[in-house]
Amino acid sequence: MRAGLAEVNLGHQLLRRSLDHAQPRLTVPVPTASPDELAAAADDNLVVHASWATAQLPGARVALAPDLVMVDSGLSCDTFNLVCRARLSPEAASGRIRDALTFFAASGHAFSWWLGPGSTPTDLPGRLTEAGLQATETEEAMVLSLAELTPDPRVPEGLEVRQIASLDDLNRFAALSAANWSPPDSLVVRYYQLTASLLLTPEAPQRLYLGLLDRQPVATAEVTFSGDTAGLYNISTAPASRHRGIGTAMTHLALRHARQAGCRHAVLQAAGSAASPYARLGFRSFGSITEFKPGG
């Protein structure tokens, strides 16, 4: 592993950073923020989302450097193992790609490399392809100024949305999240079992939400805090309950809580037609996010 790429336990370091939302920094408002500022805020939020709880797990490894972040949860699941926040110089890029491949080769775990609007150098996609990774999915990176949050949408009849505060609700959240794969991914359930004692604490930078329709769990949402940024993740609705406004209602509640916590803007990524409901809430695109994975 190259010099400067120390593996660290980020528990206390990321905890201090994530709790910045309690006293949000006054930064450039979203309407005048540059693309670079938005990209940096989104990447920093992704780092907290991906590594705050994971870094505290036995067997997990997190490598945090100014130019690259690598997270290995200890599970062979590329949902929780990733490379992100690449700020590589052209001269160092090839070597740092080798570092990342070596990092995951040590465990043999599956992983994804996320390229966002701020990733550098500009030819990084081609370099990753040459290194044997393949682009698998591209989504829109979207941002919303929380000062411009639209009024509450219509809440579907029979829907209850609650912030998760119990192990039972977290287990329901995990089961719904795992069901986004066919067959359901048992490692997703295992991850939430391992991180439950962390995610259910008041200090956690993530808030998880469960949507129940007629008392049956049907939807999930997560908001992660970093500085004055709220990142939305895990917005999903069970297939039988879609197209009823449930996801919109859950998203809006998470955004409202983020604004109450002092966040000034929210970021998310959305695929294809899924971007339209977010646009109706006021989100706008500021680039794209592409996922790369090792080729078969």
CA–CA separation, 97 and 93 (whole Å): 6
Task: Average the pLDDT over 136-148 and give the result.
Answer: 95
Looking at residue 25, its pLDDT comes to 36
Of 115 and 22, the one with more pLDDT: 115
pLDDT tier for residue 170 given thresholds of 50, 70 and 90: very high
User: Which residue, among 28, 14, 144, 19, has the nearest Cα to 85 in the 3D structure?
Assistant: 14
pLDDT at 148 over 70: yes
Of 34 and 6, the one with more pLDDT: 34
pLDDT at 83 over 80: yes
pLDDT at 18 over 80: no
Looking at residue 152, its pLDDT comes to 80
pLDDT at 31 over 70: no
pLDDT at 21 over 80: no
Q: For residues 45 and 222, is the Cβ–Cβ distance under 8 A? A: no
Report the CATH architecture of 146-288: 3-Layer(aba) Sandwich (3.40)
Helices 186-199 and 167-178: crossing angle, nearest 10°?
A: 150
pLDDT tier for residue 154 given thresholds of 50, 70 and 90: confident
The lowest-confidence range among 121-135, 158-172, 218-232, 282-296 is 282-296
pLDDT tier for residue 17 given thresholds of 50, 70 and 90: very low
CATH 3.40.630.30 in the chain: give the residue spans: 146-288
Tell me what percent of the chain is helix, strand and coil, each rounded to the nearest 5.
Answer: 40, 30, 35
Length reported for the chain: 296
Looking at residue 57, its pLDDT comes to 97
Looking at residue 248, its pLDDT comes to 93
Task: Average the pLDDT over 145-164 and give the result.
Answer: 92
pLDDT at 193 over 50: yes
Looking at residue 7, its pLDDT comes to 38
Tokens of 11: 């528990």
Task: Average the pLDDT over 240-264 and give the result.
Answer: 95
